[in-house]
Chains A and B, each alone.
Chain A
Amino acid sequence: MNLVDCILNSAIQLPPFPAVIQRVLQLVEDPKSSAQEMVDVIQYDQSITANVLRVCNSAHFGLRRPVHSLREAVALIGFDQLVEVILQNNSAQLFSRACPGYDLNDGELWRHSVSCALLSQIISIRLNQAPSPTRFTAALLHDIGKVILSGFVREHFEEIRKLVRDGGCSFSEAEKEVLGIDHAELGGKISERWQFPKAIVFAVRYHHTPLLSPEDHEMVNLIYLCDLVTLMMGIGGGADGLSYHAHKEVLNQNQLSRRDIEQFISQLDEGFKKVEATINLE
């Protein structure tokens, strides 16, 4: 078996993403769906329901009265926030493990993922796009490829590093060169297998090479910016560091300036404290 097949084979070992979440994502994007439909979909999954209630009743949420049922939760916190709670609970385990190939300790990739998801809301607002659960999901899951690729990066770390240091490659270009596949491409394949909507698959696949995406540019550009800004801030940044290409075209296309980038950073700081609170909750 060649190396790429080995890597793809490892990706198959990942547990499937809960089908309930795919269904919930379809529902929130469908303007005709109702709160009742959402409750109907979720209520049969006891662990998700229990998590939603636990999070809604935590001090972090600051609801004035206790929430006893899923229906109450939906009424009080709304669709979008409900999806965020469900997603975060289901992705935390997957992303919380250390990724030694990237020199990331326990929890660091998760911190990066949640920060990106928060930033997706901040940048969406600046771009006059309504923050949506689909964008939140793409931002949260964009680095799923790293979870699998970490072990292979570790084995070939010196070769990859040499290409980055001496060959002028970005870290993902060096991954592709040495391993035959990079973490974004692998992530795209995993999210495809998980049957995520096409826009999420493209956003994951092209989060370091947004100019190559054949479609869904709005979403791809957004996730690209979220990831790049989070990496610049060093949040959950590892051995790959900031070794990724900046594409000013993405800023130009969206009429964004350097000042906007700085403002995103200053706005995320507060959100980051919220991230820490959320992470401690889990």
Chain B
Amino acid sequence: MKIIVGMADMQVSKEPEAMLISFALGSCIGVALYDPLVRVGGLLHFMLPDSQIDQQKSQKNPWMFADTGIPLFFREAYKLGAEKKRIWVKVVGGSQVLDDSSYFNIGKRNYLALRKIFWTNNVLIHAEDIGGSVNRTIRLEIGSGRVWVRTSGDGEREL
């Protein structure tokens, strides 16, 4: 059962047959979390680092921003029985256009915002495929907890 996670969206599941997938991560970041004991997993696709730029939007759709989306995402997983001490995360995306000026470095700032939130909350990143100028697709198999990343124009590999 394939469940698509769109832009600025999130899904959690404990269905062993479910596969969560998020396409076309450019500067956006896909965060996969998984509790291997209860086999609960989730996938978040956030687009921007900071909800300060549009608070109205963040109330309507918290998944758009790292600061509003990530904490809520974990809470959704807890509701299904996941526990923080067992959860691991894998992150994918955060690409950049070719830019020396840092005007357009949203990918990098997305990643820094995520790192800061994880640092403050003692969450370790288990594996990552971040940066560069590529598009990526991430998928998480709920039954096994395996995470796959596909780079456009290239193959798919397990993360």
Contact = CB atoms under 8 A, between A and B. Distances in A.
Contact of B106 (A240, A244, A261): A261
A241 B154 CA distance: 11
Interface residues of B, number: 33
A237 B24 contact: yes
B106 to A, nearest CB: 6
Which of B24, B25, B28, B95 has the most C-beta atoms of chain A within 10 angstroms of its own C-beta? B24
Contacts of A237: 24, 26, 135, 152
Contacts of A281: none
Given A245-B98, A258-B103, A262-B53, A232 B153 contact: no
B134 interface: yes
A278 interface: no
Contact of B103 (A244, A261, A269): A261
Contacts, number: 116
Contacts of A34: none
A266 B64 contact: yes
Contacts of B47: 233, 265-266, 269
Nearest to A173: B98
B53 A242 contact: no
B61 A234 contact: no
Contacts of B152: 103, 237-239, 241
B153 A243 contact: no
SS class, residues of chain B in contact with chain A: loop
A263 interface: yes
A235 B97 contact: no
A256 to B, nearest CB: 9
Contacts of A228: 97, 104
B7 interface: yes
B93 to A, nearest CB: 8
Contact of B99 (A239, A245, A263, A272): A245
A170 interface: yes
A242 B153 contact: no
A243 B106 contact: no
* Number of chain A interface residues as a range: 35 or more
A242 B135 CA distance: 7
Contacts of B103: 246, 248, 251, 258, 261
A228 B27 CA distance: 11
Contacts of B97: 228, 231-232, 242-246
Nearest to A252: B103
Interface string A212-250: 000000000000000010011111111111111110100
Interface in B105-152: 106-107, 132-135, 152
Contacts of B153: 102-103, 157, 161, 238-241
Top 8 nearest A-B pairs by Cβ distance? A239-B153, A234-B26, A246-B99, A234-B24, A248-B101, A246-B104, A241-B134, A237-B135
16 contacts: A161-B153, A170-B98, A235-B7, A237-B152, A238-B135, A238-B153, A239-B135, A241-B26, A241-B95, A241-B152, A242-B95, A246-B104, A248-B101, A261-B106, A265-B48, A266-B54
Interface of A: 102-103, 157, 161, 164, 170, 228, 231-246, 248, 251, 258-259, 261-263, 265-267, 269, 272
Given A242-B26, A242-B133, 14 more contacts: A103-B152, A103-B153, A234-B7, A234-B27, A235-B26, A236-B24, A238-B152, A244-B98, A246-B98, A246-B99, A248-B103, A266-B47, A266-B48, A269-B57
